[in-house]
Amino acid sequence: MQKIGVTGGIGSGKSTVCRIFETMKIPVYYADLRARRLIEKDERIIQGYKKLFGDEAYDAGILDRNFVAGKVFADPSLLRRVNELVHPVVREDFKAWIAIQEADYVIQEAAVLLESGGYKTLDKVILVSAPKELRLSRVIQRDRIDKERVKERMKNQWTDEQRRLLCDYEVIADDEHLIVPQVLNIHNELIK
Ligand SMILES: CC(C)(COP(=O)(O)OP(=O)(O)OC[C@H]1O[C@@H](n2cnc3c(N)ncnc32)[C@H](O)[C@@H]1O)[C@@H](O)C(=O)NCCC(=O)NCCS
Ligand SMILES: Nc1ncnc2c1ncn2[C@@H]1O[C@H](COP(=O)(O)OP(=O)(O)OP(=O)(O)O)[C@@H](O)[C@H]1O
Protein backbone atom coordinates (compact mmCIF):
# COMPACT_ATOMS: atom_id res chain seq x y z
CA MET A 1 0.00 0.00 0.00
CA GLN A 2 1.35 3.41 -0.96
CA LYS A 3 1.89 5.94 1.85
CA ILE A 4 1.24 9.53 0.82
CA GLY A 5 2.05 12.62 2.87
CA VAL A 6 0.02 15.82 2.86
CA THR A 7 1.84 18.80 4.29
CA GLY A 8 1.77 22.59 4.30
CA GLY A 9 2.08 25.49 6.69
CA ILE A 10 -0.34 26.38 9.42
CA GLY A 11 -3.69 27.37 7.88
CA SER A 12 -2.77 26.26 4.35
CA GLY A 13 -5.84 24.03 3.98
CA LYS A 14 -4.35 20.57 4.64
CA SER A 15 -7.31 19.29 6.61
CA THR A 16 -9.74 20.66 4.02
CA VAL A 17 -7.83 18.87 1.24
CA CYS A 18 -7.71 15.65 3.29
CA ARG A 19 -11.45 15.72 3.83
CA ILE A 20 -11.85 15.59 0.04
CA PHE A 21 -9.62 12.49 -0.11
CA GLU A 22 -11.75 10.97 2.66
CA THR A 23 -14.88 11.36 0.54
CA MET A 24 -13.12 9.06 -1.96
CA LYS A 25 -12.64 6.45 0.78
CA ILE A 26 -8.96 7.20 1.30
CA PRO A 27 -7.97 6.71 4.97
CA VAL A 28 -6.27 9.77 6.50
CA TYR A 29 -4.04 9.79 9.57
CA TYR A 30 -4.14 13.29 11.09
CA ALA A 31 -0.75 13.52 12.83
CA ASP A 32 -1.42 16.76 14.76
CA LEU A 33 -4.65 15.33 16.13
CA ARG A 34 -3.05 12.00 17.07
CA ALA A 35 -0.12 13.85 18.63
CA ARG A 36 -2.54 15.78 20.84
CA ARG A 37 -3.87 12.49 22.18
CA LEU A 38 -0.46 10.84 22.54
CA ILE A 39 0.93 13.80 24.48
CA GLU A 40 -1.63 12.98 27.19
CA LYS A 41 -1.49 9.17 26.91
CA ASP A 42 2.05 8.04 26.13
CA GLU A 43 4.11 7.73 29.31
CA ARG A 44 7.41 8.48 27.53
CA ILE A 45 6.06 11.82 26.29
CA ILE A 46 4.32 12.68 29.56
CA GLN A 47 7.50 12.07 31.58
CA GLY A 48 9.58 14.00 29.02
CA TYR A 49 7.21 16.99 29.01
CA LYS A 50 7.13 17.01 32.83
CA LYS A 51 10.93 17.08 32.88
CA LEU A 52 11.03 19.98 30.44
CA PHE A 53 8.09 22.04 31.74
CA GLY A 54 7.53 20.85 35.32
CA ASP A 55 4.72 18.71 36.78
CA GLU A 56 2.35 21.68 36.52
CA ALA A 57 2.35 21.34 32.72
CA TYR A 58 -0.42 18.75 33.27
CA ASP A 59 -3.55 19.32 35.30
CA ALA A 60 -5.45 16.08 35.97
CA GLY A 61 -3.71 14.53 32.94
CA ILE A 62 -4.62 17.42 30.63
CA LEU A 63 -1.72 19.35 29.09
CA ASP A 64 -1.72 23.13 29.47
CA ARG A 65 -1.22 23.67 25.72
CA ASN A 66 -1.11 27.46 25.89
CA PHE A 67 1.62 27.39 28.50
CA VAL A 68 3.74 24.90 26.54
CA ALA A 69 3.10 26.65 23.19
CA GLY A 70 4.22 29.99 24.69
CA LYS A 71 7.53 28.41 25.68
CA VAL A 72 8.40 26.16 22.74
CA PHE A 73 7.58 28.42 19.82
CA ALA A 74 9.79 31.13 21.32
CA ASP A 75 12.74 28.78 21.90
CA PRO A 76 13.95 26.62 18.97
CA SER A 77 16.15 24.41 21.16
CA LEU A 78 13.22 23.60 23.43
CA LEU A 79 11.01 22.94 20.40
CA ARG A 80 13.67 20.56 19.07
CA ARG A 81 13.60 18.58 22.33
CA VAL A 82 9.82 18.41 22.26
CA ASN A 83 9.91 17.24 18.63
CA GLU A 84 12.45 14.55 19.54
CA LEU A 85 10.04 13.25 22.16
CA VAL A 86 6.85 13.37 20.12
CA HIS A 87 7.78 12.55 16.53
CA PRO A 88 9.17 9.00 17.06
CA VAL A 89 6.02 8.08 19.01
CA VAL A 90 3.81 9.49 16.26
CA ARG A 91 5.79 7.51 13.66
CA GLU A 92 5.27 4.32 15.67
CA ASP A 93 1.55 5.09 16.06
CA PHE A 94 1.25 5.73 12.30
CA LYS A 95 2.83 2.33 11.57
CA ALA A 96 0.30 0.57 13.81
CA TRP A 97 -2.54 2.54 12.17
CA ILE A 98 -1.43 1.59 8.63
CA ALA A 99 -1.47 -2.09 9.54
CA ILE A 100 -5.25 -2.03 9.91
CA GLN A 101 -6.11 0.03 6.79
CA GLU A 102 -7.40 -1.33 3.51
CA ALA A 103 -7.22 1.00 0.51
CA ASP A 104 -5.20 1.71 -2.63
CA TYR A 105 -3.19 4.20 -0.63
CA VAL A 106 -3.27 5.98 2.73
CA ILE A 107 -2.49 9.55 3.69
CA GLN A 108 -0.56 11.04 6.59
CA GLU A 109 -1.43 14.72 7.14
CA ALA A 110 1.15 16.69 9.12
CA ALA A 111 2.26 20.32 9.28
CA VAL A 112 5.92 19.55 9.93
CA LEU A 113 6.28 16.36 7.89
CA LEU A 114 9.32 17.67 5.99
CA GLU A 115 10.97 19.48 8.91
CA SER A 116 10.70 16.32 11.04
CA GLY A 117 12.12 14.00 8.36
CA GLY A 118 8.89 11.99 8.59
CA TYR A 119 8.48 12.18 4.82
CA LYS A 120 11.43 9.83 4.28
CA THR A 121 9.34 6.74 4.95
CA LEU A 122 6.55 7.88 2.61
CA ASP A 123 6.22 7.17 -1.11
CA LYS A 124 4.99 10.58 -2.27
CA VAL A 125 4.27 13.95 -0.66
CA ILE A 126 1.59 16.48 -1.59
CA LEU A 127 2.15 20.13 -0.73
CA VAL A 128 -0.86 22.28 0.11
CA SER A 129 0.17 25.87 -0.50
CA ALA A 130 -1.33 29.30 0.11
CA PRO A 131 0.22 32.76 0.55
CA LYS A 132 1.42 33.54 4.07
CA GLU A 133 -0.90 36.52 4.59
CA LEU A 134 -3.93 34.45 3.58
CA ARG A 135 -2.89 31.63 5.92
CA LEU A 136 -2.50 34.14 8.73
CA SER A 137 -5.96 35.59 8.25
CA ARG A 138 -7.56 32.13 7.98
CA VAL A 139 -6.06 30.92 11.25
CA ILE A 140 -6.91 34.15 13.08
CA GLN A 141 -10.49 33.81 11.91
CA ARG A 142 -10.76 30.07 12.58
CA ASP A 143 -9.09 29.98 16.00
CA ARG A 144 -9.63 33.55 17.24
CA ILE A 145 -5.91 33.52 18.01
CA ASP A 146 -3.48 36.43 18.19
CA LYS A 147 -1.57 37.29 14.96
CA GLU A 148 1.81 37.22 16.73
CA ARG A 149 1.21 33.70 18.04
CA VAL A 150 0.48 32.41 14.53
CA LYS A 151 3.59 34.18 13.21
CA GLU A 152 5.67 32.54 15.94
CA ARG A 153 4.56 29.10 14.72
CA MET A 154 5.25 30.06 11.10
CA LYS A 155 8.81 31.01 12.06
CA ASN A 156 9.32 27.43 13.17
CA GLN A 157 8.07 26.00 9.91
CA TRP A 158 9.57 25.88 6.42
CA THR A 159 8.45 28.21 3.62
CA ASP A 160 6.51 26.89 0.61
CA GLU A 161 9.66 27.41 -1.51
CA GLN A 162 11.59 25.05 0.76
CA ARG A 163 8.75 22.54 0.86
CA ARG A 164 8.33 22.51 -2.92
CA LEU A 165 11.84 21.07 -3.35
CA LEU A 166 10.83 17.85 -1.59
CA CYS A 167 7.21 17.47 -2.70
CA ASP A 168 5.84 15.48 -5.64
CA TYR A 169 2.46 17.21 -6.08
CA GLU A 170 1.01 20.58 -5.13
CA VAL A 171 -2.52 21.69 -4.37
CA ILE A 172 -2.82 25.47 -4.55
CA ALA A 173 -5.36 26.40 -1.89
CA ASP A 174 -5.55 30.14 -2.32
CA ASP A 175 -8.65 32.19 -3.12
CA GLU A 176 -8.31 31.73 -6.88
CA HIS A 177 -7.91 28.00 -7.52
CA LEU A 178 -10.59 25.37 -6.99
CA ILE A 179 -9.19 22.58 -4.85
CA VAL A 180 -11.55 19.71 -5.74
CA PRO A 181 -10.31 19.24 -9.36
CA GLN A 182 -6.69 19.43 -8.17
CA VAL A 183 -7.31 16.70 -5.59
CA LEU A 184 -9.12 14.53 -8.17
CA ASN A 185 -6.17 14.78 -10.58
CA ILE A 186 -3.74 13.65 -7.91
CA HIS A 187 -6.06 10.83 -6.82
CA ASN A 188 -6.30 9.59 -10.42
CA GLU A 189 -2.51 9.62 -10.73
CA LEU A 190 -2.11 7.70 -7.50
CA ILE A 191 -4.53 4.90 -8.38
CA LYS A 192 -3.14 4.45 -11.92
C1 LIG B 1 3.14 23.10 21.58
C2 LIG B 1 1.79 22.43 21.66
C3 LIG B 1 1.48 21.97 23.08
C4 LIG B 1 0.71 23.46 21.23
O5 LIG B 1 -0.57 22.89 21.21
P6 LIG B 1 -1.78 23.59 20.37
O7 LIG B 1 -3.05 22.87 20.76
O8 LIG B 1 -1.72 25.06 20.56
O9 LIG B 1 -1.47 23.28 18.84
P10 LIG B 1 -1.63 21.94 17.95
O11 LIG B 1 -0.84 20.83 18.54
O12 LIG B 1 -3.08 21.68 17.69
O13 LIG B 1 -0.92 22.39 16.59
C14 LIG B 1 -1.50 23.45 15.80
C15 LIG B 1 -0.53 23.87 14.73
O16 LIG B 1 0.68 24.40 15.32
C17 LIG B 1 1.78 24.08 14.51
N18 LIG B 1 2.75 23.21 15.26
C19 LIG B 1 2.49 22.27 16.20
N20 LIG B 1 3.61 21.63 16.59
C21 LIG B 1 4.61 22.17 15.85
C22 LIG B 1 6.00 21.94 15.76
N23 LIG B 1 6.58 21.00 16.51
N24 LIG B 1 6.73 22.70 14.90
C25 LIG B 1 6.16 23.66 14.13
N26 LIG B 1 4.84 23.91 14.15
C27 LIG B 1 4.08 23.19 14.99
C28 LIG B 1 1.21 23.29 13.30
O29 LIG B 1 0.93 24.15 12.25
C30 LIG B 1 -0.06 22.71 13.85
O31 LIG B 1 -1.01 22.39 12.87
C32 LIG B 1 1.75 21.20 20.70
O33 LIG B 1 1.63 21.63 19.36
C34 LIG B 1 3.00 20.33 20.80
O35 LIG B 1 3.27 19.71 21.84
N36 LIG B 1 3.77 20.28 19.69
C37 LIG B 1 5.00 19.53 19.61
C38 LIG B 1 4.78 18.17 19.04
C39 LIG B 1 4.43 18.20 17.59
O40 LIG B 1 5.28 18.40 16.75
N41 LIG B 1 3.12 18.02 17.28
C42 LIG B 1 2.55 18.12 15.99
C43 LIG B 1 3.13 17.32 14.90
S44 LIG B 1 3.26 15.58 15.10
N1 LIG C 1 -9.21 26.70 -0.57
C2 LIG C 1 -9.70 27.37 0.45
N3 LIG C 1 -10.36 28.53 0.26
C4 LIG C 1 -10.85 29.23 1.28
N5 LIG C 1 -10.73 28.88 2.59
C6 LIG C 1 -10.10 27.74 2.85
C7 LIG C 1 -9.55 26.93 1.82
N8 LIG C 1 -8.94 25.85 2.39
C9 LIG C 1 -9.14 26.00 3.72
N10 LIG C 1 -9.83 27.12 4.00
C11 LIG C 1 -10.19 27.61 5.36
O12 LIG C 1 -8.97 28.00 5.99
C13 LIG C 1 -8.91 27.54 7.33
C14 LIG C 1 -7.70 26.63 7.50
O15 LIG C 1 -7.91 25.44 6.75
P16 LIG C 1 -7.52 24.00 7.36
O17 LIG C 1 -8.03 23.86 8.74
O18 LIG C 1 -7.92 22.96 6.33
O19 LIG C 1 -5.94 24.18 7.33
P20 LIG C 1 -4.78 23.31 7.95
O21 LIG C 1 -3.64 23.42 6.99
O22 LIG C 1 -5.28 21.95 8.26
O23 LIG C 1 -4.49 24.16 9.25
P24 LIG C 1 -3.67 23.81 10.59
O25 LIG C 1 -2.25 23.54 10.19
O26 LIG C 1 -3.79 25.05 11.39
O27 LIG C 1 -4.35 22.63 11.20
C28 LIG C 1 -10.23 26.84 7.62
O29 LIG C 1 -11.07 27.74 8.28
C30 LIG C 1 -10.75 26.48 6.23
O31 LIG C 1 -12.16 26.43 6.19
pLDDT digits over 85-132, tens only?
Answer: 999 999 999 999 999 999 999 999 999 999 999 999 999 999 999 999
Atom of ligand 1 at shortest range from CA of 118: 44
Count CA within 13 A, CB hemisphere, residue 145: 19
Model confidence pTM above 0.90: yes
Domain locations in the chain as residue ranges: 2-190
Class of domain 2-190: alpha beta
The closest alpha carbon to 22, from 188, 183, 170, 174, belongs to 183
The closest alpha carbon to 15, from 25, 36, 29, 2, belongs to 29
Q: Does any ligand 1 atom lie closer than 6 A to the CB of residue 110? A: yes
Residue 56 Cα to ligand 2 midpoint, Å, equals 33
Contact between residue 167 and residue 127 where contact means Cβ atoms under 8 Å apart: yes
Q: Which ligand has the shortest distance to the CA of 33?
A: 1
Q: What is the pLDDT of residue 14?
A: 98
Residue 126 Cα to ligand 2 midpoint, Å, equals 15
Q: Residue ranges of the chain with pLDDT lower than 50?
A: none
Q: What is the pLDDT of residue 52?
A: 96
**Does the structure's ipTM exceed the value 0.90?**
yes
Residue 50 Cα to ligand 2 midpoint, Å, equals 32
